[in-house]
Every structure is written in C-alpha cells, then in structure tokens.
Amino acid sequence: MAKKITEIMNLENSRKVLQRGKVINPGQKNLWSRNLQDFIEAIDALFLKLELAYHYQFYKVFGSDEKLNEGKKLWATSLKSYDIEIINKASEEIIQSQPYLPTLTDIVRICNEFLKNTSLPSADEAFVEARKSFSPRKEYNWTHPIVYFAGKKTGWNLLNEKDGKDIFYEFKRNYEELIKKVSNGKVFKMPKEKTAEDLEPLNQKLFESLRNKHKI
C-alpha cells in the first residue's frame, strides 16, 4: 500500500532532509509562507493529481508501492527549495498543457519559470526603489508594479521626506498587503496614461444645458 511522505520518512528526518540546502530569496520569503506539514501534503497531493491525470502512464512508472514511495522521497527532496504555492501552480500548469506524464525535471523547470515570474523584492528593497523613483512614475522602470502601487498608496510626498523610519513601516504594511494579493493570484499591471482617445466624448446636451443655465 502506498504511503504518505510522513510515513515514509519520520517527521524529524524529513524536517532535516527538506530543510537542508533550502534556498529562498528575500522577496520569495515574504511572498510565500513555508510549513513542513503543508509541504508534505503538497507532495502527496501532487502525486495524486498526477495519478488521476495520467493514470496508465503513472502506473507504468510508479506501479508498485516501493517505486511510488521511493518516487515521493526523491521528488520531495528535489523540490524542497520551492514553496508549496509554486509546486501547486507548476503541477496545474503542466497537467493542463502536457499530454504525457511529466518527469521530475519537467516539474523543476516549470517551478523555476514560476519562481522567475513571481520573484519580488523584499520590503526593504522595494522601499529603497520607491524612494529613488522619479516622475513620471508611471513610466519608471519598476522591478514589479506592486512597488509602484505601494508607493502611491503610501504617498509620494511622504516617501520624499528625509526621515524615512516611520514612513518605511507605512510603506511596508501597504506593500505586504499587495504581496498577499499577488500570492492569491491577482495580477498587477502599470496603469496607462490617458490619451485624448481615452477621454469620454463631450455630452452635448449637458453642455447646452449649462450654457443656457449660465447664459453663456
């Protein structure tokens, strides 16, 4: 009978193995919360999804309990540096786009792509970037749009002040709220400057009414 990761590796040993060599950059540390139990459940869920999506191919590779248990250990060890959200997104992406059972290398590749796309600067780095920015800020080369939105919510005039200690905590709070939205799947894009084409056409009836009212 196939076992869960917690049964294959005792909790203490799995903790040591999964934490060894763990790599999380500053932005990722703030973006994703890491929990050993959640990670273990994510690996079990990953294998279940692969089994349901690629049943015949899955059984050909992991047809025995021994192979399945060893596969789970190998994949858990190899994916230990990625957050569970990235692992979940990678599995969903590959199941929707690939007709054959993915290899561990395929999953790692997709995880790296997601990591590259979702990597965010830390609150400290974002704060420095926001303070160094200049007008027009909508055209500034931001590392990520949420740095702009956090700065806008905090207030550019406040960010331009010399004493930034209290301002930093305000900015950090706004920035972390936006990070949570990103982690929940919200996509932020820089707002476009309105052009003449974007402006609403003049309401002629309202214009004439105002002219008559004010006898212009």
Q: What is the pLDDT tens value at each position of the chain, 216 positions in all? A: 555 655 555 544 555 444 443 444 444 444 344 467 888 889 999 999 999 999 999 999 999 999 999 999 999 999 988 878 788 888 998 999 999 999 999 999 988 877 666 668 888 889 999 999 998 999 999 999 999 999 999 999 888 876 667 888 899 899 988 887 876 667 788 887 653 433 445 556 655 766 676 666
Tell me, yes or no, whether 17 and 108 share the same domain. yes
For residue 11, tell me if it sits in a domain: yes
d(CA 186, CA 178): 9
For residue 168, tell me if it sits in a domain: yes
For residue 169, tell me if it sits in a domain: yes
Tell me, yes or no, whether 33 and 77 share the same domain. yes
Tell me, yes or no, whether 9 and 66 share the same domain. yes
Question: DSSP character for 54?
Answer: S
Q: What angle do CA 27, 12, 88 make, to 5 degrees?
A: 40
Q: Is 200 helix (H, G, I), strand (E, B) or coil?
A: coil
Closest by Cα among 119, 206, 128 to 171: 128
For residue 202, tell me if it sits in a domain: no
Listing DSSP states for 108-159 in one string gives HHHHHHHHHHH----HHHHHHHHHH--SSGGGS--SSHHHHHHHHHH-HHHH
Tell me, yes or no, whether 128 and 114 share the same domain. no
Tell me, yes or no, whether 42 and 108 share the same domain. yes
Instruction: Assess contact for 58 and 51: CB atoms under 8 A.
Output: yes
* Backbone phi and psi for residue 162, each to the nearest 5 degrees, phi listed first: -70, -45
Tell me, yes or no, whether 94 and 13 share the same domain. yes
Report the residue count for the chain.
Answer: 216
d(CA 216, CA 204): 15
d(CA 51, CA 125): 42
For residue 139, tell me if it sits in a domain: yes
Q: Give the torsion sign (CA, 125, 127, 128, 134).
A: positive
For residue 193, tell me if it sits in a domain: no
For residue 203, tell me if it sits in a domain: no
Tell me, yes or no, whether 17 and 110 share the same domain. yes
- What is the domain count for the chain? 2
Tell me, yes or no, whether 21 and 81 share the same domain. yes
Tell me, yes or no, whether 167 and 106 share the same domain. no
Tell me, yes or no, whether 77 and 104 share the same domain. yes
Q: Domain end: 118, 142, 168, which one?
A: 118
Tell me, yes or no, whether 78 and 134 share the same domain. no
The encoded tokens of residue 123 equal 């609150």
> What's the pLDDT at 98?
92
> What's the pLDDT at 176?
84
Closest by Cα among 150, 151, 142 to 175: 150
d(CA 8, CA 47): 14
Range of the domain at 143: 123-183
Tell me, yes or no, whether 99 and 72 share the same domain. yes
